[in-house]
Amino acid sequence: MLSFIYPISVDLNSMKFTFLDRVVDITMSIISWMKTTTVAATRAIVEMIVMSWVAFYCFTKTLILTLTPSGMRAQKNLRGKVVVLTGGAGGVGQELALRLARASAKVVIWDVNEEAAQKVKENIEKEGHKVYHYTVDVTDRKNVYKNADLVKQEVGVVDILINNAGIVCGNTFLDIPDYMIEKTFQVNILSHYWTVKAFLPDMLRKGRGHIVTVSSLTGLLGTYKCTDYSATKHATLGFHESLHTELRTHGHRGINMTVVCPYFINTGMFAGCKPNMPMLEPRDVAKRVITAIRRNEEYVTMPGWARFILPLKNFVPAKLAWAVTYRLIRSPQSMMGMRAFQETAAA
């Protein structure tokens, strides 16, 4: 029909039949609209079919991997990998450093507490492993960049970055000193910007690397006496997921990213708390983090079932969510005895 009308319209246009010209213009517009709509609809259908298969594949893969015994799953070798670990002198940090060293990785401990970090280094070296230690204040970006350059010169280009350093104040909102709010944000989230900026460019040049963010379940659920800590852990999730999105969008699939959200850990940071569930032990958290790194897992919660339960808070009435939190789980009550911040506390 279009091939029939259009030649006539040209002839009519030469005779200045503006009415028919207008009809042809409208017809062309309608046909173009129909073609565009048809293409868009077809594209939408195709995309829906493709995404359905992708969803089926992803869920099936996840189910199979979940049911596969740990020993049968593929795991990457950490031998010779340069690993920078912030907060390496703390409870989880020293367990991570020890286990990474046992896996023959080149462990680089970063911690502001020089004495504690040196002790961790000595304990690991007693087992015959080589460990590097740098006294770094991760809240000072210039200090971070300076020590990052030293690591590259003295140890090598970093393969794995584990952002583990963290502090918690342990007071209700109005009792938190202003400087502690700032310090908590500087240690728990802003430091991630400085460390990632320091090491990501080399990972991009190599086309491979791994960034690990140690967050918390409090980053998924607001917690009593943690208005500062919980906010920073929410922020780590936002930072991590946004960076992951950027890397994937630009095709940097060789850069793996893992975020770990553990329950309360028995490191002294949450001393005085009396949660309904037993606290996690640092060695168990460290073991799970390293397993996640070996498997290139993207999202880990401890305990594992928390990843399925916590999102339910967004699907139930607010009053019910509060009733479960206060009456059943008794989360606020369990945190009331939490000890206030100590300068020596570390994640």
CA distance 233 to 240: 11
Both tokens of residue 209?
Answer: 């690397």
* C-alpha of 5 from chain center: 60
- CA proximity to 141, closest of 209, 187, 83: 187
Query: Is omega for the bond preceding 303 within 30 degrees of 0, making it cis?
Result: yes
- The span from the CA of 27 to the CA of 313, in Å, is 53
Whether 6 is catalytic is no
Burial of 318 (0-12, 13-18, 19+ CB in 10 A): exposed
- Which entry of 224, 229, 263, 326 is annotated as an active-site residue? 229
Q: Smallest Cα–Cα separation from 229: which of 215, 211, 213?
A: 215
Determine the Cα–Cα distance for residues 13 and 140; give it in Å rounded to an integer: 74
CA–CA separation, 94 and 116 (whole Å): 10
CA 315 to chain centre: 23
Positions marked active-site: 229
